[in-house]
Amino acid sequence: MNEFSLKYGCNPNQKPARIFMADGSDLPLEVLNGRPGYINFLDALNSWQLVREIKEATGFVAAASFKHVSPAGAAIGKVLPPDLKKSCFVDDIEGLDDSPIACAYARARGADRMSSFGDWIALSDECDEIAARVIAREVSDGIIAPAYSAKALEILKGKRKGAYNIVKIDPSYVPEKTERKQVFGVTFEQGRNDYKISKELLTNIVTKNKDLPEDKAIDMIIALITLKYTQSNSVCFACDGQAIGVGAGQQSRIHCTRLAASKADLWNLRRSEKVLSLDFLPSVGRPDRNNVVDLYLSDYDSDEVLADGNWQKYFATRPEPFTRAQKDEYLSRISGVTLASDAFFPFSDNIDKAAKSGVKYVVQPGGSIRDDLVIEAADKYGMVMAFTGMRLFHH
């Protein structure tokens, strides 16, 4: 099959719509269930490249949670510690530790659960039964993977009243070196971005502190590959084998950093005992629990959640307030976080902001006329900063 007809394009008025191979060859994918749309396929093909490259670069299986052509989360298949399992709502999944691909998706989905609502999922390896059971409970549009076990396929086909989008990708497919797209009737052509991100990129450490542990180098690689498939401008915070905050598509880099830092802070705060001990009513579903946790952690909206009479809609017992001072004290103990940027940092304010979110490792292309000031700021905080010399814009 070299063509697949779509219901419409980005919007319902954009018809007709299809995906096809211009050279007449067969599509490198197969739709096993559902009817994916235009944006679904954009997410599927971008997210597949991301997880494939993370696996190639790290040797770990990988998963991504995509929304609107940017990742909300990406991770490798490391076993989740107990607090992260609870924070990601997977502490009741039997056999989770035995499935690296399920662990990878649990981490990717748990990075930014609000943004991942209705996500597109990419897996680097076969979707097994345990991964399918994790996915079955989440609100999601579809999935792309190179293979599915029989039981996993049965479980996934039961989602969305049988209409869940399931795509199988040919893992051996390599696209042409040249890629083209049209904007306003004008055809753009460029070489495909097949730049390889690996540990060799991380040898130019420009700070006084040059101690880059193996696990932090892996975090840098994960963050850089995540940025390679994130709408620019973009920065990514990473920790323990996963992206924990992605700031995508901002016109100013400091706004990217602030956005990603706020997401990383939420990821850390959700693992606090204050949050993990919230006594939810059994009637409160997973999406509502997630939204209430975000409100509880918000300086502005937490008062609304805890207002007299209101908390009873969600909790069996009234939670204690989580004050700004308590949150700041908790976050002050966070360290070892990695920050990556798809282009150079033009000002040191990005480093100052990152330091408040526990960043100790930074990777970026370098090349700013203010590199010396950025390096000086990193040295002030005892950070390790590597220059890659390669920009990773994605549009």
Q: Does the annotation count 68 as an active-site position?
A: yes
Which candidate in 13, 161, 177, 395 is catalytic? 395
Residue with tokens 């937490």: 302
CA 60 to CA 303: how far, in whole Å? Answer: 42
Nearest Cα neighbor of 290 from 278, 299, 300 is 278
Q: Are 100 and 77 in contact (CB under 8 A)?
A: yes
Q: Which helix (H) or strand (E) holds 358?
A: none
Q: How buried is residue 25: exposed, middle or buried, by Cβ count under 10 Å (0-12/13-18/19+)? A: exposed
> Measured at the alpha carbon of residue 67, what is the angle toward residues 391 and 168, in degrees to the nearest 5?
95
Our answer to whether residue 395 is catalytic in this structure is yes
**Do residues 297 and 269 touch, judged by C-beta distance below 8 A?**
yes
Chain centroid to Cα 138, Å, comes to 16
Task: Single out the residue of 195, 207, 331, 341 nearest to residue 272, CA to CA.
Answer: 331
- At residue 190, what is the residue type? Q
Establish whether 233 is a catalytic residue: yes
Q: Of 165, 233, 291, 350, which one is the catalytic site residue?
A: 233
Is 228 noted as a catalytic residue in this protein?
A: no
Catalytic residue among 55, 67, 159, 327: 67
Q: Any idea which residues carry the catalytic annotation?
A: 67-68, 233, 395
